[in-house]
Amino acid sequence: MGAAPTAKQDAENGHRISETITVFGAVNMDIGGTPDAPLVRGDSNPGTVRISPGGVGRNIAHNLRLLGNEVKLVSAFGDDAYGQHLAESCRALGIDTRESLFAEGERTSTYLYITREDGNPELAVNDMRIYRKMTPEFIAEKTDLLEGSGLIIVDANLPQQTVEAVCKGSKAPVFAEPVSGVKALRFRNVLPFIHTLTPNLLEAEALTDRSIDPEDPASLSAAACVLLREGVQQVVITLGAKGCFFTDGHRARILPAFPARMVNGNGAGDALISGLAAGFCKGFSLEDSVLLGMAAASITLETPLTNSPDLSYKEAQRRMMIEKEKEIKEK
């Protein structure tokens, strides 16, 4: 087994590098509730309920379009009203869904969540049975995408064998989004095929089978080294309000979180990997790519929606430069 090639290696090997980013992942209808006051369990809580397009893969594709990238989304849509609405919203955004599965008689994936009054997630239920239809055989039909895309992003909502088929079949660098502590383990067998891994603290602990102190750079580095030794080329561990840790084996650093007025934490992680991928495709250094991702996440935190209508490459770059200039002045 060998690690997935970098974009530079692809060019040196004569592989045609496409401008397109292909996302293999989930598309959901998100139904979210935020109480007006501290959440009372076992009771009805007055608050606000919103319905919006979601799903990790779809959110990432949406953010990438807002950041100016060409995007293909490979997911599964049911033949119900939610599926029709989601497919139409993707087309309106310019997301190419023609390689997705449109399954007759199936329910579109739905994600039901409740946040605390401050916007931080509290509880969720997901109905994702439709992704069982996205089999390794289905992925085998996507050779042109796996070989011709500039970058592949895969989220762990897909079945494990499907995740493994995407990672092993890709000729482009693979960015992997673990989604949750349990689902993160779906990447365990294919770490040598992953270019960049973006776990949060819980997911990193699950993948490395060790406890991590988010305030200790040595603890974070030791955990990341476990993943690097397995073949991952870049590790970015998100730390919520504490910021973000990154390393490629040569440099390791914790970057403080960007200032943001928290409205809803749902979707910030998807925005971060989107900015990270956009920066990578522009040839940014790992640190600058992480900064662009953190800027995109800060914009997303400030909206009640899963995807911020205010996200753009220009605004993310503006916030990124403010933080870089602030650091220079502090030195």
Range of the domain at 47: 7-330
Q: What is the mean pLDDT of the chain?
A: 92
- The count of domains in the chain is 1
Name which of 301, 317, 278, 227 is nearest 23 in CA terms. Answer: 278
Residues 118-123 have a mean pLDDT of 85
CA distance 267 to 54: 9
Q: Name residue, tokens 């996507």.
A: 142
Q: Is 253 buried (19+), middle (13-18) or exposed (0-12) by CB count in 10 A?
A: middle
CA distance 197 to 229: 13
φ and ψ of 161, to 5 deg: -65, -30
- Residue 306: the pLDDT is 84
In-domain check, residue 1 = no
3-class DSSP state of 139: helix
Name which of 256, 275, 257, 267 is nearest 303 in CA terms. Answer: 267
- Count other C-beta atoms under 10 Å from residue 88's C-beta: 12
DSSP 287-301: HHHHHHHHHHHHHHH
pTM over 0.85: yes
In-domain check, residue 117 = yes
CA distance 289 to 265: 21
User: What angle, 0 to 180 degrees and rounded to 10, lies between the N-to-C axes of helices 268-281 and 286-301?
Assistant: 150
Amino acid letter for position 228: L
In-domain check, residue 114 = yes
Amino acid letter for position 7: A
pLDDT over 80 at 17, yes or no: no
Q: pLDDT category, 119, cuts 50, 70, 90?
A: confident
226-244 per-position pLDDT tens digit:
999 999 999 999 999 899 9
- Residue 7: the pLDDT is 41
Give the CATH number for residue 231. Answer: 3.40.1190.20
Name which of 208, 212, 220, 155 is nearest 186 in CA terms. Answer: 155
Q: pLDDT category, 3, cuts 50, 70, 90?
A: very low
In-domain check, residue 89 = yes
Q: In the chain, pLDDT over 70 holds for what percent of residues?
A: 94
Helix %, strand %, coil % of the chain (to 5)? 40, 20, 35
In-domain check, residue 163 = yes
How many C-alpha atoms does 272 have within 13 Å on its Cβ side? 32
Name which of 209, 198, 142 is nearest 169 in CA terms. Answer: 142
In-domain check, residue 206 = yes
Residues 84-92 have a mean pLDDT of 96
